[in-house]
Amino acid sequence: MAIEFAHSPLITFVAGLVLVVLLLAIWDLPAFVGLAIAAFSVGLINAVFVGDFTLGDAATRTASAFGDNMAGIGIPILMAAIIGKSMLESGAAQRIVRGFQSVVGEDNSDFALWGSSAVLAIPVFFDSVFYLLAPLARSMRARVGKNYTLYIVAVGAGGATAHVFVPPTPGPLAVADQIGASLGLTMLIGVAVAIPSAVTSGLVYGRWINGRLDIPLRDTMGTTTEELKERAKRDTDTLPGIFESALPIVLAVVLVASFTIVDGIGEWYPVLSTITPVVAFIGDKNVALTIAAIAAALTYLRWSNLSRSLWEDELTEALKSGGNIAAITAMGGAFGGMLAVSGIGSYIANGLEGIGIGLLVTAWLIAAIVRIAQGSATAAMLTAAGIMAPMAGQLSVHPAYLVMAIGAGGNICSWYNDSGFWLVKEIGGLTQAETLKTWTVLTTIISVTGLVSAVVFSTILPLA
């Protein structure tokens, strides 16, 4: 029986926070087990205090949240495991790394990863970009022999920044629609805000933390560090060509972007409606990454000395590794989902709605606190947008700046209740502490820098 009058959602949030830290950081339980216990426990608290939520719901809705998250990331992570394994072991990732270095120089390898991640994340979801570029960061580290902290931060910062500021990425696209901001100007202002945020978090902070935290290469995604180092020493003429090496990445990006583009301009060009069903299929990230995985796996078979049966065994090992990563990531999302059921998002948003500070800062604060409390950047952004949309008419600047403030707030402090935290940790081969020092900090830097940039630009060029 729920006891609604006695409950503040903050109780659920604090209890969940204490429990997940105790289970994962102090008792050091396996991530999936600790997150499952934490999610079920938060569900039990909801059953006691939240109306229309029963003890049975504590079990079934946790499992459903896990399933919903797995539906979103299961196939992409499994296919990313094949792509990563195949690109690393065929030498394709190493060939791309050498191509980057020939253009920008070995000392500026982080620029290549940072720029690639930022550009690719505009038409493609951040998680897909990280799946594709993490193997390049690992190969870069194997070739250079150092700077893995810098490379992983550069990849994460570029993608995470575009993810919250630049449409047609879904988060800022949905917020712009709710706020009533013109898409074209939102894109231009998004790029302007994204650049200083990405530079500060990916290059400035990346180089600073790289001098203080040396993250070693670890076995992950079915590939050992010894195998990476062996391929880093190969002659270039023993590696796949640059086109064949980059084909899985090109396929994934082009296919996913094809639907984004056709869907976005279809209303102006009705003739495109005839191909919309096709691109809706091949542009789905599950299908696009499957096609990319096939291309990567065939290159692996061509450029290895493995028999077909051994090649199949190696791909199976990659899938086992990917399954573990998918399970951890989905359960992290389920834990965040159970916190959201408590009503913590609306509780915080309503409490801050009438706060006496500027609208841009208010919007950032609402999105930031909701994000920290329940984990999902998109949910935090949409919650803040719903609160702020009726007030958009009071702005003395263009509403696109409000979209930027909301995006910045929604990106802050990715931690245990965010599935993205676990994705970066597991695919990157990081410890929890390393993920907090790199990924969690860089998302916070993006958030603060994004807010400052939005306020400064809106003051200089209000566009109202």
**Per-residue pLDDT tens digits for 69-95:** 898 888 988 988 898 888 888 888 888
**pLDDT(48) > 80:** yes
Tell me the three state secondary structure of residue 220. strand
The pLDDT of residue 354: 58
**Tokens, residue 382:** 């949409």
Counting Cβ atoms within 10 Å, is residue 430 exposed (0-12), middle (13-18) or buried (19+)? buried
**pLDDT(24) > 80:** yes
In this structure, are residues 185 and 143 in contact, taking their beta carbons and an 8 Å threshold? Answer: no
Tell me the three state secondary structure of residue 235. coil
Residue written as token pair 């270039």: 236
DSSP state of 435: H
Least confident of 24-38, 56-70, 137-151, 337-351: 337-351
Question: For the chain, what is the mean pLDDT?
Answer: 86
Whether 209 is in a domain gets the answer no
Whether 377 is in a domain gets the answer no
Distance, in Å, from the CA atom of 32 to the CA atom of 334, rounded to the nearest integer, reads 11
* For the chain, the helix, strand and coil percentages under 3-state DSSP, each to the nearest 5: 80, 0, 20
Residue 220, phi then psi, degrees to nearest 5: -160, 160
Whether 80 is in a domain gets the answer yes
Percentage with pLDDT > 90 across the chain: 33
**Per-residue pLDDT tens digits for 190-229:** 999 999 999 999 999 999 999 999 999 988 766 777 877 7
Whether 99 is in a domain gets the answer yes
Q: What is the rounded average pLDDT of the residues 386-393?
A: 81
Whether 281 is in a domain gets the answer yes
**Per-residue pLDDT tens digits for 28-45:** 888 899 889 999 999 999
The pLDDT of residue 450: 97
Q: What total number of domains does the chain contain?
A: 1
Structural domain that includes position 247: 71-166+219-328
The pLDDT of residue 6: 46
The pLDDT of residue 456: 95
**Per-residue pLDDT tens digits for 266-292:** 667 677 777 888 888 998 888 988 999
Whether 255 is in a domain gets the answer yes
Distance, in Å, from the CA atom of 140 to the CA atom of 148, rounded to the nearest integer, reads 8
**Per-residue pLDDT tens digits for 111-139:** 888 988 887 777 667 887 888 888 889 88
Residue 151: CB atoms within 10 Å: 29
Whether 145 is in a domain gets the answer yes
Residue 304, phi then psi, degrees to nearest 5: -120, 165
Whether 58 is in a domain gets the answer no
Distance, in Å, from the CA atom of 287 to the CA atom of 79, rounded to the nearest integer, reads 10
